[in-house]
Chains A and B, each alone.
Chain A
C-alpha cells in the first residue's frame, strides 16, 4: 500500500525538521520521495496534526521469564480488561500486560518498536517465544553478560580475543541485539549471599572486579563495533549514595569513542542517582550525574521514571531484589541460573505521599530535564518504574513547569529539600521530547532506519491530533498528555494499524538480531565452550541456543 500523508506538521529531529508543514510519502513499507508514489495512493489528511516517527522504547521488560513470573505471581495485575476478543485478541492487564496487550498498547500510543532489555542467556528461546507473541511492533532482545562465567574468566585472564569471540558467539546463540550488563559481578556474588556494591569489590571465585568487567566489555564491544554499545545497569542500584558509583562507572568509558553513537548507555539512571548515606538522609544525585553526562559525548542514559501507582520490580539484579523484598516485606521471586545470570521479581508501588517514592519520581524528572536531549531517552524501565502507557505523562511534565508545580503540590514535601526539581525552570521543547522518544533511542541502538522520517526510513509513523504551531505545550499540558496517549494514526511498515485509540489491523513486526560472527574466529573458544557445557551446565552444548528459523520474522543485522 502507498500512502500520502498530506499537510502534516512534521517534527523530525534527526533531519533537523522542527514543526514544518510537509507531505510524507510511503511505499513498500519505506518513506520515499514524492516521485515514487503513483497510482493507487491512500491520502491521509494530516492538516493541523503533528506527524512524527513511531515511538521507540529502547528499554522495557516485555518478554521472557521475568515478566511471565510477574504475571503468574500477580494475578491481581491481570484483572484489567482492555479488549474483549473479537477481531483482535483479548487484551488484559493493569501495568503487567499479556503479550498481545503489550503490542496493542504500544500501537495505540504511536509506538512502533520496543526492545526487551534483559534476556537471560539460559532462557533466550523463551524470550523469543514471547517476543513472537507480541503483535504490532518491531522488537529485539539484549542478552545479559555481566555475570556470565566465560566473561569473568576471560576478563581475569585478560584474554581479549577470547572475550571478543565469546561476545559474538553469545549474541548469535541468543539471537540477541547487544551487550547488556546487569550489576556486573554482583549477581555471581549473590550465589554466595553477597553483592558487588563498589566497582572494586572482588567477584568471589574469579579475582576480578566490576571495574574490570565493565571496561573489558566496552573495549570488546567497540572492537566488534556492534550496532549498540554496552548497556549498563550499574552496581549498587537502589542504595543511598549510589550516584557516585554511577559516575565512576561512566568514567570507565572515557578512553573509548565511536563516531556513530555512544560507547556506554547507562540505563534507568533514576535508580542509581541517590545521594546521602541512608534512607533517612537520601537525596538526589541527579544534578551531578547530569553534569557529568553533559560534559562528555560518549555516554547516553535513559530515565527509569517512576509513575505513581502500581509497578513490579523485575531485574537481573537478583541481590537487589532480595534487598527490596527485605525492605518492603513484599513477595519475592528469584532465579539463579547456569549459563550464568540471575533475576528477581518483587511487586512495588509508588505513592505520592511516600517521601522515598516522591524522591524517586523527582529524580527521574530531574534527569530528564537536566541532561541534554541528545543524551537522555525517556523510559519507565517498564514495569519497574510503572507502565509505558504513561510516557505521555513524562513528556508533558518535561515540557511544562506549570504541570510540575501542580504535581509537586500533591507529593511528599520531602522532595523540596532533597531534590532540585522545584527550582528547575527548564522546559523541554516538543522537538526535544520527540527526539528523546524517537531519533535518540534509534541512534543509541544504532538503527539508521528507525526514529526518523527521511527517505529510506522504515514507514513507522505516528500522527497526533495536535497542532504544534498553535498549542501551547507549557500551558495546555492536559491536552498534550491526552493527545499523546492515543495517536490519530499509527502506521507500522506502511500500514495503518491504529486510529484514534482503536486498533485497525494486526501486523507482526520483525525481530532484529546482530551477527558479528564473521569478525571473529570461533576456534578460539571452542574447547572452552565444550568444557563448560560438559562439566558445569546441565544441558548439552548442541542443544543450547536459538535458530533463526524458530523466530517468526527474524532480521539479521550483519556487523561489517
Chain B
C-alpha cells in the first residue's frame, strides 16, 4: 500500500506544514525545489568516524566528550537546522564544558537582534499577514528564491480574512537589483547598494510631514517615488515589512534594521504596520529562543566563567576563530568550512573538530570526529520554530539506524558529566 503522509518541511524558515510525503516512492508532494531536494535520497555520512575510521556511536561520542572536557574553551556552533530538544542539550553541554555557544544567526540575522535590543520589534505572525495585510514590502529579501512558497502561503497570493484576492494587496520589493521576487511586485524600487539607511530615513521624514528635508534623490531613488511609497504605506490598513539579509548584511547592518523599526513605530501612529525578518534555516529561531530561556541570550554566549555572558563581535564564532580563541569545536547542523571566511576556517583546521550532521559537507573534511545523525522532520521528531516564532512539532515518519541529534547530545552530556566527576 502506497502511503502518503503529512509532514512538516525542515528546510527553510517557512516551515511549510501542508506538504505530503510518499513513503513508498520516497518522494515529497507540494514541496518547493529546496524542500524536495532535502526530502529525497541524498548522500549521507555512512557511520560515525574518528580520524576517518569508522567506529560505533558510543566510541565517537566518548571521544567527542573527551575533546570537549579537555578543551579550555570549546566553541559549539551551528544549531539552526536541528530541533529545540537538541539545542537545549547543546546549551547545557556548553555550560558544562564552559565553552562558547554560537549559532548561524551570528553571520545572518543577528543584526536584527541588535536592533531588537535598541528598539524592540513590532511584529506579527505569518497568518496575520495572510489574513490582513493589504500591503507587503519585501526589503532586501528575495522570497521567490530563498523561501519559494512564502509568497503563495503567507504573503503575496495568500488569501484570508480580509484579503480575498491578490488585487486586495499591494506588493512592493525594495532591493539593489531586480530579483526574481521583483517580478511579482506591484512596485519595484531599486536602491543603490548600502543606501538602505538613508532611504528609510527619507521615508520617515516624508511620513512625518518633513519632506522638505529630503533631497531630490536618495540612494538612487527619486523623491517622487519615495513620496509615492510613503503615501502607499500611510494609507495601507495593515502593512508588513519583511526584510532579509540585504538589510542586515549590507552597510549599516543593525542600524538599518533599527531605522526600519523606527519607521514602523511611526507608521503605527497612523495605521497598523508590522516588521519581521525572513529567517533562513528552518529552526534558526529556535537556535536563539532556546538559549534565551536557558541562558538569557540568543547567540555569542560565553560560559568560560561558569555563567553566560553575551558579547556579539567578541563571542561570535568568526571572531573567536579569527582570534584563535577556542581550542576545540563542535559543529552541528551547519557548514562553517564552506561559509566562513578563510581565516576562520584556518583556525578550525588547527583544532580538534567534532561534527554532528546527517549530510557530508565541507566541514566533514576537516573534522576529527564525525557523528552522522537522523534528519529531523523525516527520521526524528522535535520542536522547531517557523520564522515568525510559531512552534511546530516536526515528525518522524521513517525508521533509521541513525541516532537523532537529541540522542547523540544526551549521551555526550552524560559522558561529559562522567569525565568531569
Task: Give the interface of A toward B (CB within 8 A).
Answer: 63, 65, 67-69, 71-75, 77-78, 81, 83-86, 89-93, 98-100, 122-126, 129-130, 133, 190-193, 322, 325-326, 331-339, 345-346, 535-540, 542-543, 547, 550
Asked if B116 contacts A332 (CB within 8 A), the reply is: no
Asked if A98 contacts B116 (CB within 8 A), the reply is: no
List of 8 A-B pairs having minimum Cβ-Cβ separation, nearest first: A338-B127, A78-B296, A336-B124, A538-B127, A331-B120, A84-B306, A333-B120, A125-B391
The answer to whether A71 and B293 touch (CB under 8 A), given A125-B393, A536-B131, is yes
Residues of chain B lying within 8 A (CB to CB) of residue A68? 289, 292-293
**Nearest chain-A residue to B18 (Cβ)?**
A540
**Cα–Cα distance between A332 and B122 once the two chains are bound (Å):** 7
Instruction: Tell me whether B95 is interfacial, beta carbon within 8 Å.
Output: yes
A405 to B386, CA, bound (A): 52
Task: Report the minimum CB–CB distance from B62 to chain A (whole Å).
Answer: 22
Give, as a whole number of angstroms, the nearest-CB distance from A132 to chain B.
9
Whether A99 and B307, one on each chain, are in contact in the complex, defined by CB atoms closer than 8 angstroms, is: no
A232 to B299, CA, bound (A): 37
Is B121 a contact partner of A542 (Cβ separation < 8 A)?
A: no
**Measured CA separation A345–B303 after assembly (Å):** 28
CB-based contact B289/A335 at 8 Å: no
Q: Of A77, A78, A129, A333, which one neighbours B123 at CB under 8 angstroms?
A: A333
CA distance A322 to B84 in the complex (A): 31
What A residues does B294 contact at CB under 8 A? 89, 98-100, 133
For the complex, is B288 an interface residue (Cβ under 8 Å from A)? yes
Across the two chains, which residue of chain B brings its CB closest to A547? B393
Closest Cβ of chain A: how far from B275's Cβ, in Å? 10
Question: Contact between B310 and A84 (Cβ–Cβ < 8 Å)?
Answer: no
With A193-B272, A331-B118 known as contacts, the answer to whether A75 contacts B310 (CB < 8 A) is yes
Residue in chain A with minimal CB distance to B288: A72
Partner of B120, one of A67, A81, A83, A345: A345
- List 22 interface pairs A-B (beta carbons < 8 Å), by A numbering: A68-B292, A72-B113, A72-B116, A73-B116, A75-B117, A85-B307, A89-B95, A91-B307, A92-B295, A98-B293, A100-B294, A122-B125, A122-B390, A322-B268, A325-B120, A325-B265, A331-B119, A336-B132, A336-B274, A339-B127, A536-B127, A536-B130
Judging by beta carbons under 8 Å apart, are A193 and B271 in contact?
yes
Q: What is the predominant secondary structure among interface residues of chain B facing chain A?
A: mixed
Known interface pairs A192-B237, A346-B120. Does A65 touch B293 (Cβ–Cβ under 8 Å)?
no
Contact A78 B297 (CB under 8 A): yes
Asked if A129 and B391 sit within 8 Å, CB to CB, the answer is: yes
From B305, which residue of chain A is reached at the shortest CB distance?
Answer: A84
CB-CB < 8 A to A338: which residues of B?
Answer: 125-128, 130-131
Which chain A residues border B6 with CB–CB below 8 Å? 540, 542-543
Identify the closest chain A residue to B311 (Cβ).
Answer: A75
Judge if B385 is at the interface, Cβ distance under 8 Å: yes
- Are A537 and B127 within 8 A (Cβ)? yes
- Residues of B close to A191: CB separation below 8 A: 128, 132, 238, 272
Q: Does B109 touch A at the CB level, under 8 Å?
A: no
Query: Are the CB atoms of B306 and A86 closer together than 8 Å?
Result: yes
The chain A residue with its CB closest to the CB of B6 is: A542
Counting CB contacts under 8 A, is B308 at the interface? Answer: yes
Q: Is B154 an interface position by the 8 A CB rule?
A: yes
Interface string of B295-333 (1 = CB under 8 A from A): 111100001011110100000000000000000000000
Choose among B126, B272, B383 the residue that contacts A125 (Cβ–Cβ < 8 A): B383
Contacts of A84 in B (CB 8 A): 305-307
Nearest-neighbour CB distance to chain A for B274, whole angstroms, equals 6
Do A133 and B88 have beta carbons less than 8 Å apart? Answer: yes
Supplied contacts A123-B390, A338-B128, 7 more A-B pairs, CB within 8 Å: A73-B116, A83-B307, A90-B308, A98-B296, A193-B268, A537-B127, A538-B158
In this complex, which of B118, B290, B303, B307 has the most chain A Cβ atoms within 10 angstroms of its Cβ? B307
Q: How far is the CA of A83 from the CA of B310 in the complex (A)?
A: 16
A246 to chain B, nearest CB (A): 27
Chain B residue with the shortest CB-CB distance to A65 = B389
* Interface pair A78/B293, CB less than 8 Å apart: no
Most chain-B CB neighbours within 10 Å: which of A84, A126, A336, A346? A336
